[in-house]
């Protein structure tokens, strides 16, 4: 197939009236994508050192600037905002590497939930049991669906407490949250500068690694081949295993058995960090304080136009005093050091990405369920952000089963090592999509 043919396939899937494209995308760059594809075909571009992403269709979360248009962040209140003067830095890097930006994807308003619901632009449904319309995971909801439904080869999301890994796990995909400092955030609308990270959602680890290298300004290189017998993984056994749905528990235990049988050394650990991170999470602490600081002027004028649940969370940031904020940052620094000491005997720690199968959208949208479910899906992934590490989720379920993700977290700065371990695990775990 020509690159133009691949682009047309993606665009056809997006425009399919029976599909999720209208809810997964907020903007589609039909003409620009076709023009870029024709140029690449005309020049016989192939993926290589100069253009590592040549012809790859990539969707970007609607948190990133595209020159000439406002960045909406899943909101209505920014529709009249000034257009961006230039593309976000990561968008510039993607284009330079030969990627074709197919469109901007829908998201939880201002990235402030892990469920993926959006009352303004609609909520795309998970590919698993689509007729029942289950949540896509968030906040990068459209990003995961765009890859799962072959509307893009890969997607770029952001991850403040799991917003790449949650939709990836629900959609049966690979989601990588890099060490935050390795990918520039210029031209990205923030949620929490202390926790935000930018990374890819893709179908396999190799693709994720190549895209990550481009985002980080590194030369893409093949991942190291790893002997399973040289790897030690720490199995976290405390609060991260609470309230597991049956299918998730079964898939997780089966995955651990496969890893052990392959020769990987598994050791049980129970670090206190997972049990004490709630004060820093997306429901409080540092994140809400930093969110309110960014939103304060806009929120004062237009809070009535926000998703009420997002508005409620942002409003909590008023309660965090400067002294509270400094104390929370000091406590977080202590937790990072504590985590690194307690996990230094292992190459990475592992746990279920999220403890539940994706609930039905209508049920998740009920006031009685919303906060409880949101806390559950964010609980485990947020640990990777809190400890300033790198983290990845891999599908670990069989094709006919409910989606389940196996999450790895490594210490900050060990992104390439974690990706190499993940690629090795990819050959051991089931190859399944949701």
Q: What angle do CA 159, 164, 165 make, to 5 degrees?
A: 115
Query: 12 an active-site residue?
Result: no
| Cα 93 to Cα 88: distance, rounded to the nearest angstrom | 9
One of 139, 146, 194, 208 is an active-site residue; which one? 139
Rounded CA separation 41/37 (Å): 6
Neighbouring C-alpha atoms within 13 Å toward the C-beta of 224: 12
**96 among known catalytic residues:** no
Given the residues 59, 163, 192, 194, select the one marked as catalytic.
163
* DSSP, residue by residue, 309-359: HHHHHHHHGGG--HHHHHHHHHHHHHHHHHHHHHTTTSSEEEEES-SSPPP
Q: How many CA atoms lie within 13 A of 28 on its CB side?
A: 19
* Cis? peptide before 139, omega within 30° of 0: yes
Q: What single DSSP character describes residue 229?
A: G
208 belongs to the catalytic site = no
Contacting residues for 23 by C-beta, under 8 A, at least 6 apart: 106, 121, 122, 123, 124, 125, 142, 145
According to DSSP, the residues that pair with 25 across neighbouring strands are 105
Nearest of 181, 151, 79 to residue 121 by alpha carbon = 79
Q: How many CB atoms lie within 10 A of CB 111?
A: 29
Catalytic residues: 61, 139, 163
């Amino acid at each position: 197939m020509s690159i133009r043919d691949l682009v047309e396939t993606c665009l056809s899937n997006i425009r399919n009236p029976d599909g999720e494209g209208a809810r997964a995308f907020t903007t589609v760059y039909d003409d620009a994508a076709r023009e870029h594809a024709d140029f690449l075909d005309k020049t016989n571009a192939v993926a290589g050192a100069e253009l590592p992403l040549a012809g790859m269709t990539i969707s970007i979360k609607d948190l990133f600037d595209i020159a000439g248009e406002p960045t909406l962040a899943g909101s209505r209140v920014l529709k009249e905002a000034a257009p961006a003067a230039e593309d976000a830095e990561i968008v510039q890097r993607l284009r330079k590497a030969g990627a074709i930006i197919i469109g901007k994807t829908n998201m939880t308003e201002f990235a402030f939930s892990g469920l993926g619901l959006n009352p303004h632009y609609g909520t795309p449904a998970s590919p698993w049991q689509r007729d029942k319309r289950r949540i896509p995971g968030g906040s990068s909801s459209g990003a995961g669906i765009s890859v799962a439904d072959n509307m893009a080869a890969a997607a770029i999301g952001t991850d403040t407490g799991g917003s790449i890994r949650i939709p990836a796990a629900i959609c049966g995909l690979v989601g990588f949250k890099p060490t935050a400092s390795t990918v520039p955030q210029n031209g990205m609308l923030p949620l929490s500068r202390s926790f935000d990270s930018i990374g890819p959602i893709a179908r396999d680890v190799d693709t994720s690694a190549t895209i990550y290298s481009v985002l980080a300004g590194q030369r893409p290189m093949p991942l190291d081949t790893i002997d399973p017998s040289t790897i030690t993984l720490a199995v976290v056994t405390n609060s991260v295993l609470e309230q597991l749905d049956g299918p998730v528990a079964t898939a997780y235990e089966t995955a651990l058995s496969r890893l052990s049988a392959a020769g990987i050394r598994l050791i049980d650990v129970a670090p206190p960090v997972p049990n004490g991170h709630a004060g820093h999470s997306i429901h409080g602490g540092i994140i809400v304080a930093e969110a309110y600081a960014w939103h304060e002027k806009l929120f004062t004028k237009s809070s009535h136009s926000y998703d009420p649940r997002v508005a409620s969370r942002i409003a909590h940031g008023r309660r965090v005093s400067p002294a509270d904020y400094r104390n929370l940052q000091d406590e977080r620094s202590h937790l990072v050091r504590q985590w690194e000491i307690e996990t230094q005997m292992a190459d990475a720690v592992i746990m279920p990405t999220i403890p539940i199968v994706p609930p039905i959208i209508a049920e998740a949208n009920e006031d009685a369920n919303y906060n409880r479910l949101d806390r559950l899906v964010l609980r485990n992934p947020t640990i990777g952000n809190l400890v300033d590490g790198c983290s990845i989720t891999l599908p670990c379920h069989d094709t006919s089963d409910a989606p389940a993700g196996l999450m790895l977290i490594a210490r900050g700065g060990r992104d390439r090592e974690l990706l190499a371990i993940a690629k090795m695990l990819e050959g051991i775990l089931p190859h399944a999509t949701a």
